[in-house]
Amino acid sequence: MIESIFKSEEDIPKEYIPTKNIIQKEYLINGEMRIWDGPLNEVMSPIFVKEKEGLKQRVLGSTPLLTEKESMQALDAAVAAYDMGHGYWPTLSVGSRIEYIERFLSKMKEKRSKVVNLLMWEIGKNLKDSEKEFDRTCDYIEDTVKGLKELDRRSSGFEVEQGVIGQIRRVPLGVALCMGPYNYPLNETFSTLIPALIMGNTVIFKPAKFGVLLIKPLLQAFQESFPAGVINIIYGRGRATVGALMASGKLDVFAFIGTNKGANDLKKLHPKPHRLRSILGLDAKNPAIVLPDADMDVAIDECIAGSLSFNGQRCTALKILFLHSSIVEEFNQRFIERVNALKAGLPWEDGVSLTPLPEPGKVDYLNDLVEDAGEHGAAIINEGGGASNETFFFPAVLYPVNEKMKVYTEEQFGPIVPIVPYDDEQEAIDYVVNSNFGQQLSIFSNDSKTIGRLVDVFSNQVGRININAQCQRGPDTFPFNGRKDSAEGTLSVSDALRVFSIRILVAAKYNDSSKQIINDIVSNGESAFLTRDYIF
């Protein structure tokens, strides 16, 4: 019952009650934990608490609203630590940088329960998924270390081609700005931050718009683990802080996971576009295409998880379902039974999958999408769908959806499942081809010929085609990217090491004198770059 979703404090297990009013004034610049005495930004939880006077939205605390001045200080620190590539960090051996990262990881692991609890309170992610986000991030860091060792081993040899001998190694790019999204404020931010650091770049990190306080328990770990200026952590409004960083022209890398509009606005502020490498994970409107011969059980299971895990707030979520008209009725009937069986509640409650939404105004936006769809002929087909209570919105399954509706093209990023009936698969193909986005899609069918044909049709349209499975980012060792407005660059454990670095070649004519010089350099240990050493 969504009317009783929010509880009084006595009904919340003690271990999940967050510390009262966490006033964060610290921010990290140049290895110093500085204290901010200016205005603060209030951090509201999506969770309301029942009080005598009624429901009250929980205030979790506040974070510093830094200004352009502090963000430029962070930039100066990162620029100085990089020191045009001559700084301690960019010239450090791979093995030593790995030691720093490992030190950070072990300190980070000590903060698991604090971070997990804040994930639940700040963004409403359920306990299981919050734990998964934390653990997956630790695994990602471990895999990154492994990936770098492997890369280092492969780069330790010399190659001879057409009379030229050379050694190729990866070196850092410079100063990186890393910003992550609110739906994976830990995992996706660290999936760029850690590779950027381990490859020798210096970093300015600005936490996501929600899921900010959960970085606080890690601030000290960052400070204690890295040399001054290597990692700088700032807070505040994007326009005031990040805009100035970009406009300075001193950033070499822009790693941003968020909206297409946000990335566009920021990227164009950089005065030297060719000197800026961008790694972007942006909007998506991933469709599922369910063919007449699909295994209905599989399609329903995957479409439920694909469209409604974390209330549909995943960039990889299935955001529109195309159902062949011969099976749409059966699918709808069984799908809505499953939707209505999903448990709504607070994140720590057993078996809960539907939880309150963190974005202010989100419920109004979702209502607007539903109303607009209604005006163009669709209805909510699940009983109780679209009902809301403050920040909570029960999933609305909309049918039949058509191209006149906003929800047909807009990324709802929330618990609305639009279902489009089709007779000719060309309708679904046209949707994908004409979409502004091109992240992933799912095909549900049991016929190898059909699947084979559609794989070929879609292989130049999206970054990943899922067969009889929902869309997703993982496993993190697989490439994660997108076409059109969905992404720039590819991320995965090994790709991230590449995108935050550049291959540098040291070459010489393959003759006796060069061989002698190179041999001497290597055997006398006269260069950190030209060496055959590698780490195990």
Nearer to ligand G3H, 183 or 260 (CB): 183
Q: Which of 218, 315, 327, 432 binds ligand G3H (CB under 6 A)?
A: 315
Judged by CB under 6 A, which stretch of 204-212, 237-245, 451-459, 467-475 contacts ligand G3H? 467-475
188/485 with CB nearer ligand G3H? 188
Q: According to the binding rule CB under 6 A, does residue 79 interact with ligand G3H? A: no
Q: Using CA atoms, how far apart are residues 173 and 266, in angstroms rounded to an integer?
A: 19
Stretch that binds ligand G3H, among 100-108, 312-320, 400-408, 428-436 (CB under 6 A): 312-320
Q: How far apart are CA 267 and CA 261, in angstroms?
A: 10
Taking residues 187 to 226 in sequence order and writing x for each that binds ligand G3H by CB under 6 A, - otherwise, the string is: -x--------------------------------------
Helix (H) or strand (E) holding 406: helix 406-409
Q: For ligand G3H, give the closer residue by CB, 283 or 425.
A: 283
Among positions 473, 481, 485, 498, the unique one binding ligand G3H when judged by CB under 6 A: 473
Strand ranges across the sheet with 501-509: 159-161, 164-172, 501-509
Task: Provide CB contacts within 8 A for 297, sequence distance 6+.
Answer: none
Write out 70-126 in H/E/C secondary structure.
Answer: HHHHHHHHHHHHHHHHCCHHHHCCHHHHHHHHHHHHHHHHCCHHHHHHHHHHHHCCC
Closest of 60, 66, 58 to residue 25, by C-alpha: 66
Task: Spell out where 354-402 has E strands.
Answer: 379-380, 388-389, 392-393, 396-399
- x/- letters, 127..166, toward ligand G3H (CB under 6 A): ----------------------------------------
Q: Does 474 bind ligand G3H (CB under 6 A)?
A: yes
- Which residue, 6 or 184, is less far from ligand G3H as judged by CB? 184
Angle, CA 5 vertex, CA 4 and CA 9 arms, to 5°? 95
196 near 178, Cβ under 8 Å?
yes
* Closest CB 311 distance from ligand G3H, rounded Å: 12
Minimal distance in Å, beta carbon 433 to ligand G3H? 23
Q: CB of residue 285 vs ligand G3H: minimum separation in angstroms?
A: 13
* Contacting ligand G3H within 169-188 (CB under 6 A): 183-184, 188
Residues 450 and 354: beta-carbon distance below 8 Å:
no
What gap in Å lies between CA 113 and CA 185, rounded to an integer? 16
- Nearest Cα neighbor of 123 from 217, 196, 46, 67 is 46
Integer Rg of the chain from CA:
25
Residue number with CB closer to ligand G3H (63 or 192): 192
Minimal distance, residue 197 CB to ligand G3H, in Å: 20
Q: Which of 316, 332, 389, 466 binds ligand G3H (CB under 6 A)?
A: 316
Minimum distance of ligand G3H from residue 495's CB (angstroms) = 14
- Closest CB 172 distance from ligand G3H, rounded Å: 25
Q: Is 2 helix (H, G, I), strand (E, B) or coil?
A: helix
Q: How far is the CB of 235 from ligand G3H (least distance, A)?
A: 22
Euclidean distance between CA atoms 308 and 257, whole angstroms: 21
- Residue 436's nearest CA partner among 286, 289, 321 is 286
Determine which residue in the list 97, 314, 362, 498 makes contact with ligand G3H, applying CB under 6 A: 314
Q: Which of 305, 535 has the CB closer to ligand G3H?
A: 305
Query: Which one, 225 or 486, has the nearer CB to ligand G3H?
Result: 486
d(CA 247, CA 268): 9
Q: At what angle do helices 112-123 and 216-225 cross, to 10 degrees?
A: 140
Q: Which residues of 26-63 are buried (b: 16+ CB within 10 A; e: fewer)?
A: bbbbbbeeeebeeebbebbbbbbbbeeeebebbebbbb
Spatial neighbors of 10 by CB under 8 A, at least 6 apart, are: none
* CB of residue 473 to ligand G3H, shortest distance in Å: 3
- Of the pair 180, 386, the CB lying nearest ligand G3H is at 180
Which range touches ligand G3H (CB under 6 A), out of 46-54, 332-340, 365-373, 466-474?
466-474
> Could you tell me which of 321, 327, 294, 291 has the C-alpha nearest to residue 305?
321
CB of 210 to ligand G3H, least distance (A): 13
Contact segment (CB under 6 A) with ligand G3H among 33-41, 240-248, 311-319, 519-527 equals: 311-319
Q: How far is the CB of 396 from ligand G3H (least distance, A)?
A: 21
Tokens of 145: 């270390």
Which of 311, 442, 472, 481 lies at the binding interface for ligand G3H (CB under 6 A)?
472
User: Minimum distance between the CB of residue 308 and ligand G3H, rounded to whole angstroms?
Assistant: 12
Q: Near ligand G3H by CB under 6 A, which window of 98-106, 259-267, 449-457, 471-479?
A: 471-479
Q: Which residues bind ligand G3H (CB under 6 A)?
A: 183-184, 188, 314-316, 472-474
